[in-house]
């Protein structure tokens, strides 16, 4: 069994925040793969489904970001899910909008949700970092992260969420490089083929 965790803050006022892109990604996976309706368990919203042949739980902690580890650790311990079968999806300031990166372990890099999970479970789980871009000024970071996506952002955001959901089975197969390749391909359509110069002579 695997556990997919999307990080975000609960409540209508936060649902379109950049900080909630982890929630958005998990929602896209739930819809795409017909997971069960969400129910309240372990201080979170929990849904069940399959990706390929594997049973998967999808969790959105409802504890607010900086206490996400409470929900994740309770769920993982109840279902006896090992750390190597946990994949956490969350926003990354230091990646350009629409870019994704995967890694296992490492530091929290200032992300309070990741820091909380590390404190409760350790850090040997997989992280899918989803780029939201940096505002360019440290003083503007909080407003950027907790601000809503702009209307123009949805041009790339909807495409990205669709791609993550479509390729989610590759995360469970541990085919990380192919997952990243396929998502990047979806975000960068192939260039149109160059037209060959005409060989006919002008009249």
- Report, as residue numbers or ranges, the catalytic residues: 19
Q: How many Å apart are CA 162 and CA 158, to the nearest integer?
A: 6
Q: How far apart are the first and last CA of the chain?
A: 71
User: H/E element holding 86?
Assistant: strand 86-92
DSSP string, 112-178: HHHHHHHHHH-S-SEEEEEE----SSGGGHHHHHTSBPPGGGHHHHHHHHHHHHHHHHHHHTT-HHH
Measured from the Cβ of residue 18, the count of other Cβ atoms closer than 10 Å reads 23
Please check whether residue 127 is in contact with residue 72, taking contact to mean a CB–CB distance below 8 angstroms: no
Compute CA distances 120 → 68, 111, 142, 199, whole Å.
Answer: 9, 15, 25, 69
């Amino acid at each position: 069994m695997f556990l997919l965790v999307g990080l975000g803050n609960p409540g209508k006022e936060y649902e379109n925040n950049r900080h909630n892109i982890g929630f958005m990604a998990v929602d896209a996976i739930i819809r795409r793969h017909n997971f069960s309706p969400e129910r309240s368990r372990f201080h979170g919203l929990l849904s069940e489904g399959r990706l390929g042949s594997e049973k998967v739980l999808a969790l959105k902690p409802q504890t607010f970001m900086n206490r996400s580890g409470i929900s994740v650790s309770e769920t993982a311990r109840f279902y006896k899910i090992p750390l190597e079968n946990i994949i956490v999806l969350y926003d990354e300031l230091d990646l350009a909008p629409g870019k994704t990166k995967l890694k296992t372990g490492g530091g929290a890099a200032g992300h309070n949700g990741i820091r909380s999970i590390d404190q409760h479970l350790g850090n040997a789980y997989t992280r899918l970092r989803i780029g939201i871009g940096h505002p360019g000024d440290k003083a503007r970071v909080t407003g950027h992260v907790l601000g809503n996506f702009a209307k123009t952002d949805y041009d790339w955001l909807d495409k990205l969420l669709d791609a993550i959901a479509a390729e989610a089975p590759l995360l469970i197969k541990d085919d990380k490089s192919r997952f990243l390749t396929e998502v990047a391909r979806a975000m960068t359509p192939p260039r149109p083929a160059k037209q060959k110069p005409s060989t006919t002579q002008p009249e």
